[in-house]
Amino acid sequence: MQEERLLATERKYTGKVLKLDLDTVELPNGKMTVLEILRHPGASAVVPIKEDGTVVLIRQLRHAAGGFIYEIPAGKLDHHEDPKICAARELEEEVGYCAGTLTLLTSIWTAPGFTDEIIHIYQASDLQPGRQNLDQDEVLEIVEWPLEEALAKIQDGTIRDAKTIIGLQMVVGRKK
Amino acid sequence: MQEERLLATERKYTGKVLKLDLDTVELPNGKMTVLEILRHPGASAVVPIKEDGTVVLIRQLRHAAGGFIYEIPAGKLDHHEDPKICAARELEEEVGYCAGTLTLLTSIWTAPGFTDEIIHIYQASDLQPGRQNLDQDEVLEIVEWPLEEALAKIQDGTIRDAKTIIGLQMVVGRKK
């Protein structure tokens, strides 16, 4: 099937992180449509895993989620930043570890119905102590669980964050 | 840890689907911060799985993703809609099946850094033929793969949509 054709774009909002556009598009079926699209810089996320199989997660206050949720360390890309550099930085800043090895697991579309956000998910191993350095609006605590326990918390609905579920499950996929 | 306190909210954009707010929040650490938050009605998604283990996916044109991507059938909730009703409707409209059984696998935060969107992910089984009925701006084709093949396409990066990866992997988790 053919691709679409962008006919016009109108920026409706420009914020600190997000931009919102109204794009007029001609679809391959000849129909015209106007789509709301949220432009996002993209992000990196990291599954930090120790030699003994312990994973390092955070319990973080997320305004959009209405409270604290469990996540892997993650953060937005700086302008034109290499996602691997971003992953290493967020790992150290959020949970205080440096990774000897960072391996890309996958890159996901979080919500392609309305945003171009991609999250690059890495596995971090050969962990060494680093220095935690939280932004002033980051409210979180570190939790460490055996990988099996984290997986059980996906099944029982304790872990509901998309990138976190995918990262944990892809670490298991690689071990097989 | 304490929760946060919402001090003010300012609506910056109201669209057909999305709304964007600037929320001023007092964090548990006493710091004040202003957060961009995209309000979304929520959605349901479905992993349709046949008796023989074949899964039914779609290859859909997504403007935000810049082309066609692989997904499970999904759609937005109508106002105050039961997510299970939404799942059943989207399953029939997008791929032309009715489900004898719809089982909730989990409900995920797609991108809790900036949106309140939740997607409720169901497994659909005991599939019966129904009637496909696409919206005029839906451009997609149906693809059917053995579950094992779909899982391999997660590992090799062909499938990159978050809800789709999670749905397929949770179906496997339930089979164990």
pLDDT at B111 over 90: yes
Of B117, B139, B166, the CB nearest to A29: B139
Indicate the average pLDDT of chain A: 95
Domain with CATH 3.90.79.10 in chain A: 43-175
pLDDT in tens, A12-38: 999 989 999 999 999 988 899 999 999
Any catalytic annotation for residue A51? no
Of A16, A76, A112, the CB nearest to B161: A112
pLDDT in tens, B83-97: 999 999 999 999 999
Q: A31 and B136: CB-CB below 8 Å?
A: yes
Chain B hits for A141, CB-CB cut-off 8 Å, are 1
The full 3-state SS of chain A, as one line of letters, equals CCCCEEEEEEEEEECCCCEEEEEEEECCCCCEEEEEEEECCCEEEEEEECCCCEEEEEEEEEHHHCEEEEECCEEECCCCCCHHHHHHHHHHHHHCEEEEEEEEEEEEECCCCCECCEEEEEEEEEEEECCCCCCCCCCEEEEEEEHHHHHHHHHCCCCCEHHHHHHHHHHHHHHC
First vs last C-alpha separation in chain A: 36
What predicted TM-score, i.e. pTM, was given to this entire model?
Answer: 0.96
Instruction: Give the separation between CA A44 and CA A119, rounded to whole angstroms.
Output: 5
Could you identify the residue written with the tokens 């839906």?
Answer: B138
Pick among A5, A40, A62, A63 to test the B interface (most B CBs inside 10 A): A63
pLDDT score for A176? 61
pLDDT at A70 over 90: yes
pLDDT at A163 over 90: yes
Over residues A96-124, the mean pLDDT reads 97
Of B25, B106, B169, the CB nearest to A157: B106
Over residues B99-110, the mean pLDDT reads 97
Percent of chain B with pLDDT over 70: 98
Instruction: Give the separation between CA B168 and CA B150, rounded to whole angstroms.
Output: 8
pLDDT score for B136? 84
pLDDT score for A138? 87
Pick among B22, B25, B36, B71 to test the A interface (most A CBs inside 10 A): B36
Pick among A109, A122, A153, A169 to test the B interface (most B CBs inside 10 A): A109
pLDDT at A83 over 90: yes
pLDDT at B1 over 80: no
Q: B109 and A62: CB-CB below 8 Å?
A: yes
Q: Sheet of B32-39: strands edge to edge?
A: B5-14, B19-26, B32-39
Six-digit token string for A38: 């949220």
- As for the ipTM of the complex, it is 0.96
CATH of A43-175, picked from 3.90.1200.10, 3.90.79.10, 3.40.50.20, 3.40.50.2300, is 3.90.79.10
pLDDT score for B176? 61
Chain A hits for B40, CB-CB cut-off 8 Å, are 111, 114
Q: B107 and A31: CB-CB below 8 Å?
A: no
Distance of CA A166 to the CA centre of its chain: 10
Chain B hits for A112, CB-CB cut-off 8 Å, are 62, 64-65, 69, 71, 161
